[in-house]
């Protein structure tokens, strides 16, 4: 299993990215960030995950917030697992999200 470091902008390691059996990236989040450039980098005591979705993660070393974002492949995998009723509900919500409601404005013009 290939693991890749996931870091904040200041290169502190926040967790590891792994691919599940379907090739979908998942985040294994550390409880505390690790500074790989420290003289004695902290030991990782806990990994939380796998996480899939859109999640803001704050580095507890530099306070930088990084956003773990769901991949299109992960969304497709989640949708493939839905029941027909759930797919129907999703379709309705997606259509509603694309159509802007018509706003009715009162005619403020005054006749003479």
Question: Is 88 within a domain?
Answer: no
Question: Is 98 within a domain?
Answer: no
Question: Is 107 within a domain?
Answer: no
Question: Is 95 within a domain?
Answer: no
Domain count, the chain: 1
Higher pLDDT: 52 or 82? It is 82
Q: Which domain holds residue 62?
A: 3-70
pLDDT digits (tens, 9 = 90+) for 17-44: 988 888 888 889 999 999 988 888 888 8
DSSP 13-70: EEEEEEE-TTS-EEEEEEEEEE-TTSSSPPPP--EEEEE-S-EEEE-TTT--EEEE--
pLDDT digits (tens, 9 = 90+) for 56-95: 999 999 999 999 988 888 888 888 889 999 999 989 988 8
pTM: 0.67
Residue 81 DSSP code: T
Question: Is 24 within a domain?
Answer: yes
Question: Is 104 within a domain?
Answer: no
Where is 6: in which H helix or E strand?
A: strand 3-7
């Amino acid at each position: 299993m290939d693991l890749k470091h996931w870091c904040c902008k200041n290169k502190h390691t926040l967790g590891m990215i792994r691919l599940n059996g379907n090739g979908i990236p998942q985040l294994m989040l550390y409880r505390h960030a690790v500074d790989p450039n420290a003289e004695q980098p902290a030991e990782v005591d806990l990994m939380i995950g796998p996480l899939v979705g859109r999640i803001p993660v704050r580095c507890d070393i530099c306070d930088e917030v990084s956003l773990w974002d769901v991949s299109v492949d992960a969304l497709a995998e989640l949708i493939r697992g839905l029941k027909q009723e759930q797919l129907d509900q999703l379709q309705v919500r997606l259509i509603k999200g694309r159509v802007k409601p018509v706003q009715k404005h009162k005619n403020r013009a005054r006749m003479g």
